[in-house]
Structure 1
Amino acid sequence: MIIIKIGGSVLSDKKRKFHFRETVVKSIAYEISRFFPEEKFIVVHGGGSFGHPLAKEFAIREGLRDYSSRHGFVLTHLAMLELTKKVAQSFLDNMLPAFPISSSSIFITENGRIVKGYMDVVKEALSREFIPLLFGDVSFDEAKGIEIVSGDEIVLHLAKEFKPEKVIFLMDVDGVYDKFPGGRLIEFMKAKEISELTLEGSSGIDVTGGIRKKLEVAGEIVKYSKEVWFVNGLIKDRLSRAIVGNGIGTVVVP
């Protein structure tokens, strides 16, 4: 099994509210179709320009406060449902049965970390040769009342549950750089080296932690998977090459 995370910066331009890169997502779906159903997949996607701006506008990460936060909680969830509908349709156009599973319905968080996850629907979907499609979403939170459950947090929980062969993060750059822009691409690293890295630079709106958080998550994921890849999801065949193990990007190993 392979878990693929489609970053919000891949499926949308985060600087353009409610923007969707249909051609890019269809290309990703086509690459997955080369290997499915012989290979099992779970796909998780980020919030992009659908979820992040609303989560920031309504300060969802500050927790449940008043009517405004409840209003924003619902609006953010509805925006994510709209985005996942677009992703699922792009997969269907490539004959891939991606089945959307609402993350807010199966995960409970505490300060944004998943503490309860109900995996039965995911398991049933896999057993029937569907591709479970999950997404970064709002969550009911035991500490704050409401929170955001990020796509990266979801990927980590899925890795613990399903022990995938590999996890692939699709980004809008070629991998992890020590400095961005203008830095060096880090092609290989061991999990123990992540805490020693000094990273500089970021772009767009991201309320879930950015590349530093992704690397920390990767360090956890490799306890349950052989390798974690960071590759450019905007360039044709980069995903396919990572799937077969001959990728261009950054690979993290135990």
Structure 2
Amino acid sequence: MKIDNLHLVKIGGSLTHHVKPLLNTLKSFSSEENRIVIVPGGGMFADVVRDLDQDVRLSNRASHRMALMAMDMMGVYFSDVSHIKTVDNLYDTKITLLDSSIVILLPSKVVLSTDELPHSWEVTSDSIALYIAKLLKLKRAIIVTDVDGIYNKYPGGKLLNIISAKSIRGFTSVDSYLPKLLIKYKMECIVVNGKYPERVVNILKGKKDIYTKIIVD
């Protein structure tokens, strides 16, 4: 089943306390012409898993599974504050989008069923969202976070309008595995500040705004 006019929007856990206006804006904007899959970040729930891993040295598989479940928990929270329906598999994602045009995908079941991603903290919700975009046969993912995009240096650097995945070095607002997946999947990614919901909507409309586009040369 192919769904047309589909966008994947990953909303980071850094927006936990600011997410309701963004979710409501996306819900209002969504339509048959702009269907939206929201993938949640892990946020504070993933931080608990990280801290536990540091304390007791969890196995890589256990920390990977628990971090994915943390994303599910954040998705339930997103649903509670926005009344957007949740699903936990790709089939239900597509069926739900035919009726409501927006859905929150709880990713653990999808990612664990294929088990293609490394069990590593190098892989966070950014890379997981990109992987899901690939499964949905999309060529772009939108990463919504609490900063304006990617800077040439951080802190105090200049915001980059566009950057090649091959050029990303050091600490940025996306995880370190994401550029590798972008190159592998031949996809692009846009990083945008979710505290300004209109910026996300402008991306969906194809309009210019403040954000960083990551491209593959």
TM band (smaller chain):
0.7 to 0.9
1:34-83 CA distance string (max 9 Å, x none) = 4212310100011001123224414455235xxxx8xx967983x55443
SS in 2 for 1:173: coil
TM-score, reference length from structure 2: 0.74
Q: 2 CA distance for matches of 1:197 and 1:139?
A: 28
TM-score, reference length from structure 1: 0.65
Q: 1 CA distance for matches of 2:71 and 2:120?
A: 14
User: How many Å apart are 1:147 and its aligned residue?
Assistant: 7.4
- Structure 2 gap segments, 5+ residues each: 1-5
Does residue 83 (structure 1) correspond to residue 92 (structure 2)? The answer is no
Larger radius of gyration: 1
Does residue 9 (structure 1) correspond to residue 14 (structure 2)? The answer is yes
Instruction: Give the counterpart of 2:43 among 35, 48, 58.
Output: 48
Aligned counterpart, 1:131: 102
Aligned counterpart, 1:121: 92
Q: 2 CA distance for matches of 1:60 and 1:142?
A: 18
Does residue 231 (structure 1) correspond to residue 192 (structure 2)? The answer is yes
Does residue 172 (structure 1) correspond to residue 146 (structure 2)? The answer is yes
Aligned counterpart, 2:125: 151
| Residues 216 and 176 (structure 1), Cα distance of their counterparts in 2 relative to 1, 3 Å cut | farther
1:169-212 CA distance string (max 9 Å, x none) = 111111011211111211113xxx3223333467xxxxxxx533
SS in 2 for 1:4: strand
1:117-142 CA distance string (max 9 Å, x none) = xx322222223335331246484786
8 Å CA contact 2:71–2:125 kept in 1: the answer is: no
Q: How big is the alpha-carbon RMSD for the aligned residues of Structure 1 and Structure 2?
A: 3.4
| Residues 220 and 85 (structure 1), Cα distance of their counterparts in 2 relative to 1, 3 Å cut | same
Corresponding residue pairs, total: 202
Aligned counterpart, 1:250: 212
8 Å CA contact 1:54–1:76 kept in 2: the answer is: no
8 Å CA contact 2:68–2:107 kept in 1: the answer is: no
8 Å CA contact 1:125–1:132 kept in 2: the answer is: yes
Q: 2 CA distance for matches of 1:161 and 1:142?
A: 13
8 Å CA contact 1:46–1:136 kept in 2: the answer is: no
Structure 1 counterpart of 2:157, one-letter code = G
8 Å CA contact 1:169–1:231 kept in 2: the answer is: yes
- Structure 1 gap segments, 5+ residues each: 12-20, 93-97, 107-118, 203-209
Does residue 197 (structure 1) correspond to residue 149 (structure 2)? The answer is no
